Structure formats: C-alpha cells, structure tokens
Amino acid sequence: MGGLFARISTRNAARIVTTLVVATLMVALVQSQLAGRGTAGAAAASGGVAPNAIGTLDCNGLSPIQKPTRHDFACTDMHAFYDGKPARFSDNGHYVGHDEPSIRFLSDVPGSGNNVTWNEALPLDPGAAPTVANPGSDVTHWFELSVAPWFGMALCNPYSYPQTACKPESDSNAPRNPPTFNVGGGGSSFLEVQFYPPGFAPFVDNISCDNTHWCASLHINDLECTLGFHHCNFNCIEPTNFAFIQTDGVPTGPPSPQLSNLATQTPNAHTLFMNPGDNISVHIFDAHTAGGLALEVSIHDATTGQSGFMQASAANGFMATNIGNCKGIPFNYTAEYNTAQPQNLVPWAALQGGILTQFEVGHFTPCTSVSNPAQLQIGTFTDTFFQTCNGPYEASPDGGSNPEVSDAPCYPVGDTHGGVAPPNQVSGCGEFFTQNGDLDFDGTTYWPNWPNATAPTTFPSTFRQQQPMSNGHAYASAQFETDAAASETTCGPATLSGCAVPPPGSPGNFYPYWTQAMVGGKCVWEFGQMTNGNAFGGDAQYDGPSAYFFGTLSGPIIPNPNCS
C-alpha cells in the first residue's frame, strides 16, 4: 500500500514491543499521574473493573487482549507524533485512518463549548431499491454514502491523552504550541453523537438498526497515550463508551469498554427510532445529576413527538480507562471547554474537533455479487460474511499494489444474517475488517451519487441542518475540514502536492462538499453535490493541507455566513 504506510506499520510494531516491555514502568507512571486526581484517581490506581473477554477496549477492534463486540464504530480518526512531527497513526500494525469531512463552529461566548443545540431534517431515500450498474448514476441510499453522520464535542477526561488533569467546562484545558497544539492541555475525549441510516442491518456487524428508521447513539472515544505519544497501551488504545439514545434513558447493555456486550449493540423497545424526513432537535449539554455533572444528549422528534436521551454517567455504567492495565474507572464525562475558540480542540484527533457537524464517509462499496465466504463470531452471535466484492465499483482487485487489503465484511442482497435482520437492500461491503476505510476510493462516497436536490431523485435527499445555537447565541465563525488526505498514498509531509480532494487517482474523481441555502424559509447546511445555494467553491472549500496535521485539509476560519 505504498512505502509510507509500510514504514509506519513497521515502526509502530517496534513501539508495540517497547510498550509491552515497559508495561510495569507504565503502571507506576500512571499511578503517580493519578495521585493528583482525587478519590477516583486513587481508586483507579489501586483497582478498577477488569475487562471482559469481549468489549470495546479498542474502537477499531484490534485489541490483543479482548475480542470486539462490534468491528466498526466509525471511530475518531487519530494522528500521532513521531520524532516530534505529526504522522499517521497505526493501531497494532494496522492503519486505521478514514474520511471525515466536517464544519467546526467557533465562538468566544461563554457556554458555546459545552451547550449546543442542532435542528435538522433527516433525509429521504429514493423509493426504488439501490442499483449497482453505473457508478455515478446508480440509485443510491444514504447507508451507501455515510454510515454515521455525527455531531461532535470535546470532553474532559484525565484518563485520556495526554493523561493530565482536566477541569470541566474550562478553557484552561486548551493545549499550547499552535498550530499543532501538541504541548500541555487537559485530558481529552471525543464525543460523537452518531446517526445510523436505515437499510443495511443488523447493527452488531453492519450499519443500520433496521430498514426503515434512523437511530442514534452517544459515542465517546478516549486515547490511551501519554503526551507526545511517548507511551501508548495498544491493548486498549482507543476505548469506546457506547449507548443508543433511549426513550427511557437506560442503556440497552453495559456501555463501557470493559463490559460492553451484544446487548449494548442491539436496539430494544426503548431505542429512539426516527423516520426519514422527520424534523429533530439535538441538545448536547452537561446535566446536573445525583452524582454530579454528566454529559447528556437529548433528541426530540418534532414530527412524531417522541424524545430520547442518554447521560454519560457512572450511574449509567460509563467508564474511563486506566492506561496502565486497561481496567475501567466509573466516570462522569463532561464537556471540556467553556467556549468554542480555535485552540479548544481534541489534541490527538486528526480533525481539530470541538463543536462540529460531520459525515462519516468512505465505508461502503456496492457489489453485483460477493464471494469468498468466511465466518464471524461475536460472543454467541455468528454470521457468514464475504471477503470479495464483484462489480463495476471494483475496477481492480484488492491487495498487491492496491493500498486496500480487503473490502470485508461484505454481504449479499437479501441477507437476513440468520434471521435477525430485515433483508439487506443491496450487495455491499463495509470496508472495516482490515483498514477501516476505502483506501482505494472506489466506493459510493467517491462517485457523484450524492444528493442533488432537497427531495429524493435517483439519489437521496440531503440533510438540512440549521445553524447550531448555544444558549440562544449563534456561532460567529466556521471552518471546513476533512482528513481524507491522511488516507491517500500520494500524501505525506514531504509531498503535500499529493494531498487533495478528490483523492488523486480515484476512479469517480468526486468528493462531496458543503452548501448553505435557504430552504422553506430556513437557512440550512446541506452536504453532497447541491447547487441551490452557496457551495463555497465546492471542493475548494477544503483549501489545502493544514499546519495542524498534514493529512487534514482545512479552509480558513471565516465569518459564519448564515445565508448572508
């Protein structure tokens, strides 16, 4: 997959060996770091909740000590520092970067970093089933374009990178040394309020909750590395807390990395289901609970009148992770910052983070047929998946000189996964068993199969997201970003001319972009290939390689236009 990725994987393997050798020293280091964190820190140093045999110690499913309850969580994309310079991150010898185009919103108004409300209209799919004959003009549904559109926020966690104390809702946590922001700062986690489109269930080894509804989750990633990535514990490198948004606020199963199980990944009768086209409101804030402040995500569906919520609290089973031994620490997550200023970011993430809206892309390739079967087992759940995609989207086989090892897992049209899900609507692959992304850029994302109208055509309709608001205040500034370039073999610190969208050499030669338009009397953000408003130059809105991380393309910070 190119010399750069190969060198990083080899180098990272050496770091894994080093990490294992110094494990005892790391535990001692972490215990000394935790000494100043109060009662919870002392408890973490002396004990904690041991990981089960399956769980979510690593969002990418690559932990050497635990099998995953789900292989792909649409994880937070990471960068790293090697020899003091930003570099791609490799998880246990695997490159795990992927593609996350976003807009981050900026403000110096108190509360803008910890209390935000989003209003949006969920999109509609075409009435016809997806087709797989003519890339760029096939009937396409949302699950083929984005497996998890999400809203983001930086969270306070002293047990996450850089393993330092963190004061909730305080700008004192901001890291220093711009533009890379790789010095100091409080411990940071990354919140993603993820939405899952209908059409390709079951969720445990696929994309959707069912074939007709959207569902959503409160998803938190930590990073178990010290400042500068000098020490990482690859047994639990990117632990994930996960819970569906529920009408009763009760997780379907244990949400923590240590105890997560199949029930955690399985919707139940209290999971909030939303219809395509519904108008919803999403509120992300710190709630006052009996156990102190805890982050809450609440969703109200104005179309159906239903609501759901989830609190990231110790009472709900959420846990931080001890870097020394991967044990769980019952924990209340809270927002990290007071304001949404540019420096108030997540210093280990490939995107600068903060208050942002994003579309998780590059995770689906449609097929006319699939072949080369294999067996998947997650706890008591077993399923047959396929490793090879056949059809016009796969112009050349994976492997060899192709940077992509495999498109797996793939499933045939009509597959019910042993009777636990409605029939899949098309044959296709999720692209996450080996590299966590579409590294040869031949899937649906990178063809002009995106929304081109506010109502469905051959393609689905667009999301319509209104401006985010914080305590009645709009955000003053905005910035377009994508980390697509980090997955491009043509892109590297010395070859910035090869960092671009569309990805150089991609068969479809297309990359989706943001548009702002007046629709139904409301100023909304759209995503795809819309032409009904200000497209900010199309792909030119991502501008070029960022000084923050060479694999991130970002435009300048601009006044939030608000359709002006």
138 and 82 assigned to the same domain: yes
Instruction: For residues 255-263, give the mean pLDDT.
Output: 97
- The pLDDT value recorded for residue 32 is 35
Out of 304, 330, 360, a domain closes at 360
Q: Return contacts of 19-24, CB within 8 angstroms, 24+ apart.
A: 19/231, 19/232, 19/233, 19/234, 22/231, 23/233, 23/324
Contact 370, 429 (CB under 8 A): yes
> Would 467 be classed as within a structural domain?
no
Whole-number Å distance between alpha carbons of 139 and 132: 8
Question: Does 350 lie in the same domain as 421?
Answer: no
Task: Assess whether pLDDT exceeds 70 at residue 7.
Answer: no
| Residue 450: inside a domain | no
Q: Under 8 Å CB-to-CB from 486, ≥6 apart: which residues?
A: 77, 79, 88, 97, 350, 549, 550, 551, 552
pLDDT band at 72 (very low <50, low <70, confident <90, very high): confident
Structure confidence at residue 16 as a pLDDT band (50, 70, 90): very low
Q: What is the pLDDT of residues 151-161, one digit of tens each?
A: 999 999 999 99
**Total domain count, the chain:** 2
> End-to-end distance of the chain based on CA atoms, in angstroms?
45
Give burial (CB, 10 Å; 0-12/13-18/19+) of 263.
middle
Residue 185 and residue 41 in one domain: yes
Among the candidates 360, 391, 416, a domain finishes at 360
Residue-wise pLDDT tens digits, 389-426: 999 999 888 888 888 888 999 999 999 999 999 999 99
For the segment 141-160, the average pLDDT, to the nearest whole number, is 98
Between these two residues, 207 and 70, which has the higher pLDDT value? 207
Tell me whether residue 175 is in a domain.
Answer: yes
Quickly state the pLDDT bin for 193 (edges 50, 70, 90).
very high
Contact 409, 386 (CB under 8 A): yes
Asked whether residue 131 is assigned to any structural domain, the reply reads yes
Q: Residue 84: its pLDDT value, please?
A: 78
Choosing from 445, 463, 480, the residue where a domain stops is 445
pLDDT digits (tens, 9 = 90+) for 352-377: 989 999 999 999 999 999 999 999 99
Is 513 a domain residue? Answer: no
Q: Are 222 and 101 members of one domain?
A: yes
In a shared domain, residues 404 and 324: no
Task: For residue range 513-557, list pLDDT tens digits in order.
Answer: 999 999 999 999 999 999 999 999 999 999 999 999 999 999 999
Residues 387 and 299 in one domain: no
pLDDT at 21 over 50: no
Whether residues 277 and 386 fall in one domain = no
CA distance 298 to 284: 7
* Least confidently predicted of 127-141, 277-291, 383-397: 383-397
**Percentage of residues in the chain with pLDDT exceeding 90?**
82
Query: Does 39 have pLDDT greater than 70?
Result: no
**Domain around 308:** 3-360
- Mean pLDDT throughout 232-248? 98
**pLDDT given for residue 46 in this prediction:** 52
| pLDDT at res. 27 | 35
* Under 8 Å between Cβ of 19 and 100: no
> Do 334 and 388 belong together in one domain?
no
pLDDT band of residue 15 (cuts 50, 70, 90) is: very low
Helix H or strand E segment including 54: strand 54-55
List pLDDT tens digits, range 450-503. Answer: 999 999 999 999 999 999 999 999 999 999 999 999 999 999 888 888 999 999
Q: Which of 37-51, 84-98, 303-317, 329-343 has the lowest mean pLDDT?
A: 37-51
Query: Does 263 lie in the same domain as 209?
Result: yes
With bands split at pLDDT 50, 70 and 90, how would you rate the model's confidence at 209? very high
Say whether pLDDT at 561 is over 50.
yes
- Mean pLDDT (whole number) for 29-39: 37
Q: How buried is 39 (Cβ within 10 angstroms: 0-12 exposed, 13-18 middle, 19+ buried)?
A: exposed
554, part of any domain = no
- How far apart CA 162 and CA 335 sit, in angstroms, is 16
Mark whether 380 and 250 lie in a shared domain: no
287 and 436, same domain (yes or no): no
| Mean pLDDT score, 212-238 | 97
The reported pLDDT for the residue numbered 415 is 96
CB 487 within 8 A of CB 140: no
**pLDDT for position 47:** 80
User: CA angle 259-263-264, nearest 5°?
Assistant: 60
Of 460, 441, 372, 458, whose CA–CA distance to 410 is shortest?
A: 372
**558 domain-assigned:** no
Higher-scoring residue by pLDDT: 82, 123: 123
DSSP state letter for 424: P
Give pLDDT, residue 82: 81
Are 330 and 370 contained in the same domain? no
- Alpha carbons 39 and 212: distance in angstroms, whole number: 46
The answer to the question of residue 539 being in a domain is: no
